[in-house]
Amino acid sequence: ADPLLDVRDLHVEFRTRDGVAKAVNGVNYTVHAGETLAVLGESGSGKSVTAQAIMGILDTPPGFVTRGQVLFQGRDLLTMSAEERRKVRGARIAMIFQDALSALNPVLTVGEQLGEMFRVHRGASRKEARAKAIELMDRVRIPAARDRVRDYPHQFSGGMRQRVMIAMAMALEPDLIIADEPTTALDVTVQAQVMDLLAELQREFTMGLILITHDLGVVADVADKIAVMYAGRIVETAPVHDIYRAPAHPYTRGLLRSIPRLDRKGRELYAIKGLPPSLLHIPPGCPFHPRCAQARGRELCRSDLPALLPVVGGRASACHFWKETLGDDNAAADRAG
Ligand code: SF4
Ligand code: MG
């Protein structure tokens, strides 16, 4: 089947006082109905900006899509009329943000905000809208929905507020949900519950889901495939389990090693040394080379930008020496196991 969403060669720039920040530099990814894509990377990797370009909400300093296509059900969101685009983005694609408190309106009750979706988009009466709001709150398992429908966002706990956000996103039964760090602000147990709920709804409604996160630890059980971003590019894509078993890019390997693991208790947590590059001055060659241990003594890493190319088994890597990375980890797994 054709993908639900097909992002092609997307480029986004921000014009800042200090120059042009190249936030997204040729991103390609697809999401099919019923599929979950996890987009992973540190902050500034371009994972949120890509989502904002899809949703048409690039914020200040002004961001511009300078090249590419965002095909949704086969039609380019970037070139369709403003009217059509509003319809698609309002009803067919929904977004969930990290900070529900600032995404929700503080002076309206949760019931009013949920109800408004049905009043505006479905022409529901006040009474119908309220009934729908309660139904939705039940669906996302907010206890005592009938009473809580009258509460304001600040009266909910962080986890419950995130459920309200999910209910808002689900209200019109969209085809695609984009969740940007949906559980980052929550504590670990609540994170898992919210992630499970999202995965359950996604399966039930056969939606496409894009899960944006900096934390490889939270997506293992819910994602089908992963795209790892660095400096505005995808550096590795893989079916989810392969990436945990044996990454094919040194950056992915670094992210994996920095996940806290119970079986490594007591051992020092690994951190990738250095910082992501400024998007105003992306290093030549492989953008990861200043932080990459494998780059040592290798001119190619400093001179040639590696393209994202198929490697093995439905996977792609943007590393000149992916074989080595993959080999290291296979060898390590053999030794361990
Ligand atoms: Fe490291 Fe070179 Fe691979 Fe880039 S191309 S990730 S610098 S080994
Ligand atoms: Mg972000």
What value does the mean pLDDT take over residues 214-226? 88
Ligand number nearest to the C-alpha of 272 = 1
| 3-state SS record for the chain | CCCCEEEEEEEEEEEECCEEEEEEEEEEEEECCCCEEEEECCCCCCHHHHHHHHHCCCCCCCEEEEEEEEEECCEECCCCCHHHHHHHHHHHEEEECCCHHHHCCCCCCHHHHHHHHHHHHHCCCHHHHHHHHHHHHHHCCCCCHHHHCCCCHHHCCHHHHHHHHHHHHHCCCCCEEEEECCCCCCCHHHHHHHHHHHHHHHHHCCCEEEEEECCHHHCCCCCCEEEEEECCEEEEEEEHHHHHHCCCCHHHHHHHHCCCCHHHCCCCCCCCCCCCCCCCCCCCCCCCHHHCHHHCCCHHHHHCCCCCEECCCCCEECCCCHHHHHHHHHHHHHHHC
Rounded to 5 degrees, what are φ and ψ at 252? -60, -40
- Ligand 1 within 6 A of CB of 253: no
% residues pLDDT > 90 (the chain): 70
- The whole-number pLDDT of residue 51 equals 94
Ligand number nearest to the C-alpha of 99 = 2
- The whole-number pLDDT of residue 86 equals 86
Please tell me the CATH superfamily of domain 5-223, with its number: P-loop containing nucleotide triphosphate hydrolases (3.40.50.300)
Among 298, 302, 328, which is best to mutate for testing ligand 1, by the most ligand atoms less than 8 A from CB?
Answer: 298
Q: How far is the CA of 206 from the centre of ligand 1 (A)?
A: 37
Q: For strand 316-317 and strand 233-239, is the pairing parallel, antiparallel, or unpaired?
A: antiparallel
Which residue, by CA, sits nearest to atom 4 of ligand 1? 286
Q: What is the mean pLDDT of the chain?
A: 90
CA distances from 21 to 18, 165, 168, 309 (A): 9, 31, 33, 25
- Ligand 1 within 6 A of CB of 322: no
Query: Closest ligand 1 atom to the C-alpha of 249?
Result: 6
Q: What span, in angstroms and rounded, lies between the C-alpha atoms of 313 and 315?
A: 5
Residue with the bigger pLDDT between 85 and 267: it is: 85
Is the pLDDT score of 263 beyond 80?
Answer: no
- Ligand 1 within 6 A of CB of 286: yes
Query: Closest ligand 1 atom to the C-alpha of 293?
Result: 1
72 DSSP β-pair partners: 5, 75
Q: How far is the CA of 47 from the centre of ligand 2 (A)?
A: 7
Residues with CB under 5 A from ligand 2 (ion): 48
Residue for token pair 């965002």: 70
Q: What span, in angstroms and rounded, lies between the C-alpha atoms of 183 and 99?
A: 9
Ligand number nearest to the C-alpha of 248 = 1
Q: How far is the CA of 164 from the centre of ligand 2 (A)?
A: 20
For the question of an ipTM over 0.90, the answer is yes
Q: How far is the CA of 225 from the centre of ligand 2 (A)?
A: 19
Residue with the bigger pLDDT between 273 and 179: it is: 179
- The whole-number pLDDT of residue 273 equals 86
- The whole-number pLDDT of residue 330 equals 55
Q: What span, in angstroms and rounded, lies between the C-alpha atoms of 296 and 273?
A: 14
Which residue, by CA, sits nearest to atom 7 of ligand 1? 289
Look at 69-78, 234-243, 295-304, 320-329 and tell me which has the smallest mean pLDDT: 320-329
- The whole-number pLDDT of residue 264 equals 57
Query: Closest ligand 1 atom to the C-alpha of 322?
Result: 3
Is the sign of the CA dihedral 75, 77, 78, 81 positive or negative?
Answer: positive
Residue for token pair 């293992």: 220
Residue for token pair 């030549």: 284
> Nearest-CA neighbor of 118 among 127, 109, 108, 107?
127
- The whole-number pLDDT of residue 187 equals 87
Q: How confident is the model at residue 259 (pLDDT cuts 50, 70, 90)?
A: confident
Q: What span, in angstroms and rounded, lies between the C-alpha atoms of 95 and 213?
A: 14
Is the pLDDT score of 336 beyond 50?
Answer: no
Query: Closest ligand 1 atom to the C-alpha of 324?
Result: 8
Q: What span, in angstroms and rounded, lies between the C-alpha atoms of 295 and 33?
A: 39
Ligand number nearest to the C-alpha of 44 = 2
Residue with the bigger pLDDT between 187 and 5: it is: 5
Is the pLDDT score of 76 beyond 80?
Answer: yes
- Ligand 1 within 6 A of CB of 294: yes
- Ligand 1 within 6 A of CB of 288: yes
- Ligand 1 within 6 A of CB of 295: yes
